[in-house]
Amino acid sequence: MTTIQKLQQLMQAQRIRANDEGFVLSLLRFAQIRGTLTTGQDNAAQRLIARYEQRATPQASTASTVPTFTRVDLSPIVRMFDAARAHGLRRASIRLGNGLKVSAASPTSANPGAIYVKRDGDYLGKITSEGREFFSPSMTSAEKELVREFAQHPLERATVYGHATGQCCFCGRELTDARSVAMGYGPICADHYGLDWGHQRAAQSVDVVDDVRTQAA
C-alpha cells in the first residue's frame, strides 16, 4: 500500500486528529496534482502514519509501578527563541493551533531554558530545560501530543499550521505570497527565528500553489 493510500485510509476511517487534518489534506492535494509526493513530504507522511499505527497497536501490560515521564528535547525550539531574542523579540510566542501557544522563559527568570504552554491565554504548564513536563490536569492528551510533536519537528508543524490556517504561526499574519504559503511562514519571521526560507522545499511547492490558483481562476 502506498503512502497516499495509507493517508486516504486514515481519513476514510476518521482517525486523523484535527491538528493533523490540514497537513494530510495538503499532502493529498499535492499528490492529486503532481501524481506523487516529494521525498521530504513522503518522509513526514510516513512518520505521521507510524504514529497512528502505534496508537492502534495494543500495548503489552506491565507489572511495573515505577512512575515514568517523557523527556522532551527542547533544543530545536530553544534555538528558534534564542534567534528571536537576538532580533529583539523579547516576548516571542509560537502558535500551535487549537488556541495553544508556546513561549520561552526569560534567561533571568526562575525557569531559564524552559518552555511555557498556554491555551487562549491560560497557563497550562511548562517543559523544563531538562526536558521534564509539568502540565495542568486540564491539558488534554491531544494537546500534550501536539506540543511534543512541535518539539520534535518544529519546522514541519509550522508548515502544518500555515497550510491549515493560512496564517504564520509566528506572527499570526495572513500568508499571501506563494512561497510563504508553501513554507507556512514568511521571510521576515524566517529571518527572526533563524529558519530557512525559499530553498528547495519551498520551490517544490510554489508551482503547486500556482497551479491550484490557475485552476480556480
pLDDT, tens digit (0-9, with 9 covering 90-100), for 29-69: 888 888 888 887 888 888 888 888 877 665 544 434 344 45
Q: Within 10 A of 66 (CB to CB), how many other CB atoms are there?
A: 5
Q: List the strands of the sheet with 115-119, edge to edge.
A: 93-97, 100-104, 115-119, 122-127, 133-135
Distance (Å, whole) CA 147 – CA 101 = 9
Furthest-apart CA atoms within the chain: distance in Å: 62
Strand partners, 39: none
Confidence check: pLDDT of 150 > 60: yes
Distance (Å, whole) CA 125 – CA 46 = 30
| pLDDT tier for residue 103 given thresholds of 50, 70 and 90 | very high
More confident residue, 24 or 188: 188
Confidence check: pLDDT of 149 > 50: yes
Domain ranges of the chain: 3-53, 68-145
Tell me the pLDDT of the chain averaged across its residues: 79
More confident residue, 118 or 90: 118
